[in-house]
Amino acid sequence: MTSKEKALKIAKLLDEKKALDIKILELKDLTIITDYFVICSAESTTQVKAFTEHLEEQMESEGFKPFSIEGFNYAHWVLLDYGDVIVHIFLEETRHYYDLERLWLDAPRIPFQTSIEDKSLAMYK
């Protein structure tokens, strides 16, 4: 699985749990830290933890274990480090405060269609 495929897979798994405002940023030509960021929001700390646990379980079932998980106990910003993909699961207000998308404004965005968008498009076909 390529880094891009892994990022898209992670976005899909987060979408399954109804994560909000999922974004994939391509960083491979901008930094050596990682190839992709997957960023999403949750409405509560309970959701942050649920998204984290779902992602960790599903990725592990596919043979991917994170190198580290930071922030789970506090659950305002959880970071899962998969090496080539780093996942940021934010409480909405924490995401607005840190505004990673603005910090990485020059990073290309990888298109990702949520299941809600898929359903909306299906209505017009």
Q: How many percent of the chain have pLDDT more than 70?
A: 91
Q: What is the tens place of the pLDDT at every residue in 49-88?
A: 999 999 999 999 999 999 999 999 999 999 999 999 999 9
Residue 119 has pLDDT above 90, yes or no: no
**Per-residue pLDDT at 125:** 44
Average pLDDT over residues 91-110: 94
Rounded to an integer, what distance in angstroms lies between the CA atom of residue 43 and that of residue 59?
23
CATH top class, domain 3-123: alpha beta
**CA distances in angstroms from 10 to 64, 82, 97, listed in the order given:** 11, 10, 23
